[in-house]
Amino acid sequence: MALPAIHLQEVTRRFGATTAVDKLSLTVEAGEIFGFLGHNGAGKTTTIRLLNGVLAADGGVIRVLGLDPGTQGSQVRARSGVLTETPSLDERLTAVDNLTYYADLYGVPPGQVRGRTAAVLERFELADRAGEKVGGYSKGMKQRLALARAFLHEPEILFLDEPTAGLDPVAAQEVGRMIRHLSRDEGRTVFLCTHNLVEAQRLCDRVAVMERGRLAAVGTPRALAREIGAEMRYTLEVAADQRETARREIALLPAVKYVETADAELTLTLSDREAAPEVLARLLAAKVRVYALTPHESSLEDIYMALHRQGQERGMQ
Amino acid sequence: MNWRAVRTIIRKDLKVVRQTRAVLIPLIIVPVLVLVLLPGVGGALLATADPDSEAIRDFRRESAAFFDHLPAPISERLAQYDDEVQRITYILFNLFFPPMVLLLPTMVANVIAADSFAGEKERKTLEALLYAPTTDRELYLAKLIGPWLAGVAVGWLGYLAFAVVITLTTLSFMGGIFVLDATWLLLIFWVVPAASGLGLGAMVLVSSRVSTFQEAYQLGGVVVLPILLLLFGQLGGVVYFSPLLALAVGAVLWALALGLMGYGAGSFKRGALIARL
């Protein structure tokens, strides 16, 4: 069985009285695109730092490509590429100088530095301005250059913190295509931190949602929807003259959270899937002619918001 | 030890300094002013001075206490000269300029280290560097070597320029090179590297507590105080540079520099650095 790319077991990291990462356990398989979601301060960046041996954990076990970042940090970093939240480029140097610097730091063979640098600049459409100082670049160009730097030494794992932030839709789509290519065609593992849930849903094989340093959920977006009961929005189509009756009857059920009227349909929000048969039984008992009760496929955004609400409710208790 | 990474960081830090006017200009102006223009003008003026003039006689009379209390080796050396202009020239360039030569490596290492340590934080380029496959030790070493080498190089080149300018401007009446002896050699090869280390060590200490180049530059500047004390000590006739004093000054500066660098190594940890970003 292939070694997982990332394995965390009960990992904890504290900063004074604040627990940034709290008993985090998860596994990322090699070649997977793994989405790591959460609000600001949820512990995403701290996790990336722990995985690269830039920060030491207070407890738990971390393995990246079978290595312990705590004691073999430089070996882990040699095999990983990181796009940090800010581009972290030297704006007084040109794009070529920035990339050459990191190619040398990451041990790209000297004979290949020039070729690799030119290739990534071409790939990220920066070749025509490669000789300009980065200080004159737009935000999107800096982001592309920082991405180019992360790809430069052809790492086995890529840690991408908001890779499409600041990019226009076309460039963002191109980055998404590239991430898929890196995973599907080249077998590289991608650990993707993002607030862009549409992007995460489109790209990720699995996602983990962090809430205040804790893992709130992990799985494929579809499995998560089932697991947390987020598939709870339904469209109800009934006879036009019975819409108000239906609305009144349904509203009496405790499992029905909201009922909205939209055009000729009713939109229901149920507390869980088990409420759907109850709704139908109630309507049939009231002799309402039901034409359709259609579940909505939950988006990652629905799941994320549901998890966030649950987290907040737990926090208030 | 990943020497390629160490060399890469040094090269890049020095390249950035060469391309940054705010850092480069003081690094050029101060040495040129202190070790070329100032001694050049002084040498040229002395070359045209009449040993029997009123001004020279007045100066010698007013400085009688200073000249009369010089240590024996210096007095013996002065006795070999024929006139007062030669003696004043010898004293001026051999007693008052060595602290200036020491000032430069201290300042240069200090400024470059400020840019390299605090500047990296200020420009937000440190985070990507911390993700590079180097150990903390390699990173720290690379950050030390660059400014230290630059300080030593400027100290040596500064002395060379100073010696050339002085020799050329005073050759007509001094008859040869008079700013090269055992004391100078010790200063150049023992004290200048130590002074560069001191400038660097002070900045390592300061930069862990500040977040901008300017703050680091201003706070780190106090490191030139011991060198200025040496200068005033010579002016006041309290201390005189001799081979023994050069050895002792070098030893004290090395001890201070290594102590500061050792202390800095303890706090130069990725985790601590990234937590402060």
3-state secondary structure B218-248: HHHHHHHHHHHHHHHHHHCCCCCCCHHHHHH
Asked if residue A96 and residue A73 are part of one domain, the reply reads yes
- Amino acid letter for position B264: G
What is the model's pLDDT at position A302? 72
- Arithmetic mean of pLDDT, B252-263: 91
User: Quick check: B83 pLDDT over 80?
Assistant: yes
Do A88 and A204 belong to one domain?
yes
What is the C-alpha to C-alpha distance for residues A167 and A141, in angstroms, rounded to an integer?
A: 8
**Cα separation values, A201 from A196, A212, A307, B225, B235, Å:** 9, 22, 16, 62, 76
Mean per-residue pLDDT for B91-103?
Answer: 86
A228 band by pLDDT with thresholds 50, 70 and 90? low
Q: Are B200 and B151 in contact (CB under 8 A)?
A: yes
Contact B107/B203 with Cβ under 8 angstroms?
no
Structural domain includes residue A317: no
A127 and A11 share one domain: yes
Give the pLDDT confidence score for residue A23 in this predicted structure: 92
Contact by Cβ (8 Å): A108, A118 = no
A88 closest CB neighbour out of B5, B125, B134? B125
Task: Give the pLDDT mean for A50-62.
Answer: 93
In a domain, A288, yes or no: yes
Q: Kindly report the backbone phi and psi dihedral angles of residue B199, in degrees, each rounded to the nearest multiple of 5, phi listed first.
A: -60, -40
State pLDDT tens for residues B174-210: 888 888 888 899 999 999 999 899 888 888 878 767 7
* Containing structural domain, residue B187: 3-275
Dihedrals φ, ψ of A212, to 5°?
A: 50, 50
**Does the pLDDT of residue B231 top 70, yes or no?**
yes
Q: Which domain holds residue A136?
A: 6-226
Closest by CA to B192, choosing from B35, B42, B33, is B35
Whether A25 is in a domain gets the answer yes
Which residue, A226, A250, A274, sits at the end of a domain? A226
Average pLDDT (A272-283) is 86
Mutate to test the interface with A, among B131, B140, B274 (most CBs of A within 10 A): B131
Cα distance between the two ends of chain A: 43
The 10 Å Cβ neighbour count of residue A122 is 13
| Interchain contact B19–A (C-beta under 8 A) | yes
Do both A141 and A218 map to the same domain? Answer: yes
Residue among A27, A33, A12, A28 nearest A194 (CA): A33
DSSP code at position A220: -
Domain presence at residue A312 = no
- Same-domain status, A201 and A288: no
Q: What share of chain A is helix, strand, coil (3-state, %, to 5)?
A: 40, 25, 30
CA distance A4 to chain B (A): 21
How far is the CA of B203 from the CAs of A70, A251, B27, in angstroms?
A: 29, 70, 16
A270 and A206 in a single domain? The answer is no
- How far does A113 lie from chain B, in Å, by closest CA? 13
Confidence of residue B57 (pLDDT cuts 50, 70, 90): confident
Contact B213, B122 (CB under 8 A): yes
Q: Is A70 on the interface with B (CB under 8 A)?
A: no
In a shared domain, residues A108 and A182: yes
> If you average pLDDT over each of A158-167, B19-28, B125-134, B222-231, which comes out highest?
B125-134
pLDDT of B233 above 80: no
- For chain B, give the number of residues: 277
Looking at per-residue confidence, does A296 or B45 come out higher?
B45
| A99 within domain boundaries | yes
Q: How confident is the model at residue A253 (pLDDT cuts 50, 70, 90)?
A: confident
Same domain, A139 and A277: no
Alpha carbons B33 and A292: distance in angstroms, whole number:
89
For residue A299, what is the DSSP state?
A: P
Mean pLDDT across A141-165: 90
Q: What percent of chain B has pLDDT over 90?
A: 25
Residue A303 lies in a domain: no
- Cα A9 to Cα A23, A59, A61, A66, B95, distances in angstroms: 7, 9, 5, 13, 67
pLDDT at A273 over 80: no
- Measured between beta carbons, the chain B residues lying within 8 angstroms of A93 are 12, 15-16, 19
Residues of B in Cβ contact (< 8 Å) with A77? 131-133
> Looking at residue B191, what DSSP letter applies?
I
3-state DSSP assignment of residue A35: strand
Domain of A175, CATH number, reads: 3.40.50.300
Q: Do A179 and A279 sit in the same domain of this protein? A: no
CATH number at residue A270: 3.30.70.920
Question: Residue B240, by phi and psi: left (phi above 0), alpha (psi -120 to 50) or beta?
Answer: beta
CB distance from B130 to chain A under 8 Å? Answer: yes
Task: Name the domain count of chain B.
Answer: 1
CB < 8 Å to A92, chain B: 16, 19-20, 123
Average pLDDT over residues A180-193: 89
Q: Is the pLDDT score of A179 beyond 90?
A: no
Give dist(CA A141, CA A247) in Å, integer.
Answer: 53
Query: Taking a C-beta distance cutoff of 8 angstroms, is the pair B84, B205 a contact?
Result: no
Two structure tokens written together for B188: 């150049």
C-alpha A141: how far from its chain's center? 22
Instruction: Look at the alpha carbons of A205, A211, A216, A222 in this order and tell me if their dihedral is positive or negative.
Output: negative
- A52–B132 C-beta distance less than 8 A: no
The residue among B263 and A229 whose pLDDT is bigger is B263
> Cβ contact (<8 Å) for A54 and B135?
no
A316 occurs within a structural domain: no
A53 touches chain B (CB under 8 A): yes
Domains in chain A: how many in total?
A: 2
Residue A229: is its pLDDT beyond 70? no
**Amino acid type, B53:** S
**Strand ranges (E), B149-193:** none
pLDDT attached to residue A79:
94
Helix axes A110-123, A95-105, angle to 10 degrees: 130
Option in A55, A90, A106 nearest B125 (CB)? A90
Residues of A in contact with B271 (CB under 8 A): 54-56
Mean pLDDT of all residues in A7-33: 92
DSSP annotation of A133? B
More confident residue, B232 or A35: A35
**Which position has the token pair 């006689």?**
B57
Hey, what long-range contacts does A181-188 have (CB within 8 A, 24 or more apart)?
A: A182/A151, A182/A158, A183/A31, A183/A32, A183/A33, A187/A30, A187/A31, A188/A31, A188/A155, A188/A156, A188/A157, A188/A158
